[in-house]
């Protein structure tokens, strides 16, 4: 088909750098893949059982566009229980098809053509395209390893123009594992208030914060009505394939978001929502068990990478490491392609997450210790040859 039939914006967006290497790895036998951010745990049985029970009892009809009330209430209770934040299930919560739909809904609900959205690079690969598809303009701030990939107030203020409408943050971060604590956010609040910015806070890795309690930027009353929380069930509960996410926001914004959602999607999967009810109400212990395992894997992989000369800070959240490969003398893509072809290890080049990711690679440790150990052994062989 001729490109003249295609949306011009889509033609400017490259394929996902994550999926590129995942697809390559799937074609090579014997590959150890540490590329995809998907927990290796099965969805806990009591959550699966809730979905089975829903099917057996014929709970397979459309739900309210906003989602099942029991699920929305469970989410609001969860944010009160875990983070002391108050949201009303009838006004402030909408269930989405994964957190990914939530990003798209927010961008299309808020952005007019030419509006600027500040994003933090390195950042998850979907942020920039979703902004551009909504006719917004992504404005990246390059986060630095020496600052532990935190957002500094002076960098935020320097990026703001008269066209800036939104700040899009993700802590704990994919791909760096960086975290912002309460003291870090306190320095940003006056700037957000001064410029009246909407803040979209991707908190999908909130339960995977190591060594300190997670802080949501919505915890600050003076800007809470400007904050949209984006979250989901994929990472904390090992429910990637269930495609279940949610947004928490001011009631006026939820109404607008729901207009797009009800025409484009209608509602998230009913079966997934029943599984979500069980997870959000009775899954706190599952989250703790998963986090303890990820901490062990994190410590193991960081120690191994630093020992072989790939300098890597200790991430404080999520399940990724972002080591520097600059001393190898290869670009990020060259490093990953050669590592895949020569040692059959799949990781993701850092520049897939923005230009400032050049010189780094992202490795997911959401895999077993045995797989991580084998991958580290192969990486070390590769480095020794270089």
**Do residues 302 and 321 touch, judged by C-beta distance below 8 A?**
yes
Q: Could you identify the residue written with the tokens 């703001």?
A: 160
pTM: 0.94
* Coil, helix or strand at residue 195: coil
Query: CA-CA distance, 299 to 192, in Å (whole number)?
Result: 35
Would you state the pLDDT for residue 64? 97
Among 273, 268, 265, 249, residue whose Cα is nearest residue 106: 249
Q: Quick check: bond before 182 cis, omega within 30?
A: no
Query: CA-CA distance, 341 to 379, in Å (whole number)?
Result: 12
| Distant-in-sequence, close-in-space partners of 14: CB < 8 Å, separation ≥ 6 | none
Query: CA-CA distance, 284 to 305, in Å (whole number)?
Result: 31
Query: CA-CA distance, 39 to 319, in Å (whole number)?
Result: 9
Query: CA-CA distance, 379 to 363, in Å (whole number)?
Result: 11
Query: CA-CA distance, 9 to 133, in Å (whole number)?
Result: 6
Query: What proportions of the chain, in percent to the nearest 5, are helix, strand and coil?
Result: 50, 15, 40
Q: Could you identify the residue written with the tokens 């969805």?
A: 43
**Alpha helix (H) residue ranges in 28-180:** 45-56, 69-83, 98-110, 127-133, 153-159
* Phi, psi angle pair for 28, to nearest 5°: -115, 125
* Phi, psi angle pair for 137, to nearest 5°: -120, 110
Give the mean pLDDT per block of 10 residues along the chain (386 residues): 72 66 70 88 98 98 98 98 97 98 98 98 95 96 96 98 98 96 97 98 97 94 98 97 98 97 96 98 96 96 96 95 95 94 94 94 95 97 93
Helix (H) or strand (E) holding 256: helix 251-264
Per DSSP, the residues of 64-91 read -TT--HHHHHHHHHHHHHHH-----TTT
Would you state the pLDDT for residue 203? 98
Which residue spans within the chain are E strands per DSSP?
32-33, 93-96, 116-121, 137-142, 164-170, 198-202, 227-232, 245-248, 320-321, 345-346, 348-349, 361-364
Angle between helices 369-385 and 332-343 (to 10 degrees): 110
Secondary structure letter of residue 251 according to DSSP:
H
Query: CA-CA distance, 20 to 346, in Å (whole number)?
Result: 10
Among 362, 314, 351, residue whose Cα is nearest residue 121: 351
Among 33, 321, 302, 287, residue whose Cα is nearest residue 172: 321
**Do residues 327 and 140 touch, judged by C-beta distance below 8 A?**
no
* Coil, helix or strand at residue 223: coil
């Amino acid at each position: 088909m001729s490109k003249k039939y295609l949306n011009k914006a889509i033609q400017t967006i490259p394929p996902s750098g994550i999926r590129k290497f995942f697809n390559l790895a799937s074609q090579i036998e014997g590959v150890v893949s540490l590329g995809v951010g998907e927990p290796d745990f099965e969805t806990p049985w009591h959550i699966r059982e809730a979905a089975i029970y829903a099917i057996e009892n014929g709970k397979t009809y459309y739900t309210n566009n906003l989602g099942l009330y029991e699920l929305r209430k469970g989410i609001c209770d969860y944010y009160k229980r875990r983070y002391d934040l108050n949201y009303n299930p009838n006004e402030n919560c909408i269930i989405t098809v994964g957190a990914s739909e939530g990003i798209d809904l927010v961008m299309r609900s808020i952005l007019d053509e030419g509006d600027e959205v500040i994003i933090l690079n390195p950042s998850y690969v979907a942020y920039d395209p979703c902004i551009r598809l909504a006719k917004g303009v992504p404005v990246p701030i390059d986060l630095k390893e020496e600052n532990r990939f935190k957002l500094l107030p002076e960098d935020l203020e320097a990026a703001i123009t008269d066209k800036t409408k939104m700040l899009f943050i993700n802590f704990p971060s994919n791909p760096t594992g960086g975290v912002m604590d309460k003291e870090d956010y306190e320095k940003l609040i006056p700037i957000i208030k001064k410029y009246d910015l909407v803040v979209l806070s991707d908190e999908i890795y909130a339960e995977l914060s190591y060594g300190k309690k997670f802080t949501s930027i919505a915890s600050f009353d003076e800007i809470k009505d400007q904050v949209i929380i984006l979250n989901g069930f994929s990472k904390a509960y090992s429910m990637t394939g269930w495609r279940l996410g949610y947004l928490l926001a001011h009631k006026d914004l939820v109404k607008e978001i729901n207009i797009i959602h009800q025409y484009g999607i209608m509602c998230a999967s009913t079966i997934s929502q029943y599984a979500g009810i069980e997870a959000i109400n009775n899954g706190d212990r599952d989250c703790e068990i998963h986090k303890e395992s990820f901490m062990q894997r994190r410590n193991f992989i960081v120690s191994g990478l630093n020992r072989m000369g790939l300098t890597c800070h200790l991430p404080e959240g999520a399940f990724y490491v972002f080591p520097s490969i600059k001393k190898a003398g290869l670009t990020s893509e060259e490093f990953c392609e050669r590592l895949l072809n020569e040692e059959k290890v799949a990781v993701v080049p850092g520049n897939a997450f923005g230009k400032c990711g050049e010189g780094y690679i992202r490795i997911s440790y959401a895999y077993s210790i045995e797989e991580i150990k084998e991958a580290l052994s192969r990486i070390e062989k590769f480095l020794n040859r270089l």
